[in-house]
Amino acid sequence: MTDAIRAYHDPDRARRYHTQHAFDPPRKARMFEVMLDTLRALIPAGGRVLELGAGSGDFTKVLLDSGFFSRIEATDGAEEMLSLAQSEITAEQVSFRLLDFTRPWSAPEPLDAIVSSMALHHAPDKLFSFQQAFQALRPGGVLVIGDHIAGATPHTHRLISLERARVKQIPEAQVPDWILQDEQAQAAQGNICEPLDVYLNVLQQAGFMHVDCLWRDHWMAVVLALKPYE
């Protein structure tokens, strides 16, 4: 388990995450829309989906409200986060499981889809995490990731930082100091953001096909990967 995941075992930290407004809600909402639309386009209605790093259930609620899935298994490595999700989501088609995606795991039966929203940047070994997902999917199964990503070069990463400062409405004179503080805060939280090409290359190494980025807006992206039919 990484320090970033372990931090959310703290009840106060988990509650703050759950109750505070998400950073840049419109961008997050659009990411959720793209993820859901992708799932609906690629798996049959009534499919079974497992969510890695469900946190307090933001995307779990989107999956449930769609009415598209027969079973939704929400998993997270922090028990406190799962407890918050369970306190608000009581639908019978949703189950909850404590699962650390940085360690070996399995599904009782092959899954139609695996999703992860703003969680896999906590994984230090993304190849291992993607290999675990590959093994849990049925042939033809779908992996959809919405995550924070880094710029491919120092120049583009700075442009991302400038956009984050704009969203935060940081006064122009304070932007350089704020960018430095933001980078330090991300590192302290254990966020291991990778450039988009790292995600795409590592997913292919894990055995996935049709790997592509379907949507990107500065530091957020939606990535698709399909497990080949045997």
Residue 48 three-state SS: strand
Alpha-carbon span 98 to 79, nearest angstrom: 6
Of the pLDDT bands very low, low, confident and very high (cuts 50, 70, 90), residue 224 is very high
Mean of pLDDT values over 91-119: 96
- Each domain of the chain, given as residue ranges in start order, spans 3-226
Q: How far is CA 192 from CA 4, 59, 195, in A?
A: 10, 21, 10
In the chain, what percentage of residues exceed pLDDT 70?
90
Which has the closest alpha carbon to 119: 143, 153, 140, 141?
Answer: 143
- What pLDDT digit, counting tens, does each position of 45-96 carry? 999 999 999 999 999 999 999 999 999 999 999 999 899 999 999 999 999 9
Look at residue 18 in the predicted model and tell me its pLDDT: 44
Look at residue 7 in the predicted model and tell me its pLDDT: 47
Look at residue 12 in the predicted model and tell me its pLDDT: 54
Look at residue 188 in the predicted model and tell me its pLDDT: 82
- What pLDDT digit, counting tens, does each position of 112-135 carry? 999 999 999 999 999 999 999 999
What is the CATH code of the structural domain delimited by 3-226? 3.40.50.150
Q: How far is CA 62 from CA 43, 94, 154, 162, in A?
A: 16, 12, 35, 30
Q: How far is CA 108 from CA 48, 115, 137, in A?
A: 12, 17, 11
Of the pLDDT bands very low, low, confident and very high (cuts 50, 70, 90), residue 191 is confident
Bridge partner residues of 76 (DSSP): 98
Vertex 74, ends 56 and 9: CA angle to 5°?
45
The more confident residue out of 69 and 2 is 69
What is the spatial order of strands in the sheet that 94-98 belongs to? 94-98, 71-76, 48-52, 111-117, 137-148, 220-226, 209-217
Phi, psi of 79 (to 5 degrees): -60, -35
Whether 15 has a pLDDT exceeding 80, the answer reads no
What predicted TM-score, i.e. pTM, was given to this entire model?
0.91
CA 57 to centroid of chain Cα atoms: 12
Q: How far is CA 93 from CA 60, 71, 145, 150, 178, in A?
A: 11, 5, 22, 35, 43
Look at residue 230 in the predicted model and tell me its pLDDT: 76
